[in-house]
Amino acid sequence: MHEIVSFKKIKNKIWANIFYIGNKRYIANIYHSYEKAYQDCEWRKQEITAYRHLLINHEQPVPQYLTIPIHQSEIPKNWLPLPVFGFLLSSKKLSKKTI
């Protein structure tokens, strides 16, 4: 028996490069194609690897970037793309709040 199986189109699904600091998730950038998201994620990983020792010596978090599918509704309202080392800005804000 041969049947044609149709798949429903998933609306508003996009690819995001994310990283975690503690338990908080940050969205670094978003893409409509997996290939572009993957390329950007690999580039971010290479940049972090190049500066890993510097980050550790200055007691900064070393993020692990991931590419995941997300729904458009998961993007925060005031979200802006983060540069590779954008987590340093986020960690400074976090440390200022705790002081």
Query: Residue ranges per domain, the chain?
Result: 13-98
Structure confidence by residue, pLDDT tens digits, 24-61: 889 999 999 999 999 999 999 999 999 999 989 989 88
pTM of the model: 0.72
Q: What is the DSSP string of the chain?
A: ----------TTEEEEEEEEETTEEEEEEEESSHHHHHHHHHHHHHHHHHTHHHHHHTT------EEEEEEGGGS-TT-----TTHHHHHHHHHHHHH-
Q: Confidence class of residue 95 from pLDDT cuts 50, 70 and 90?
A: very low
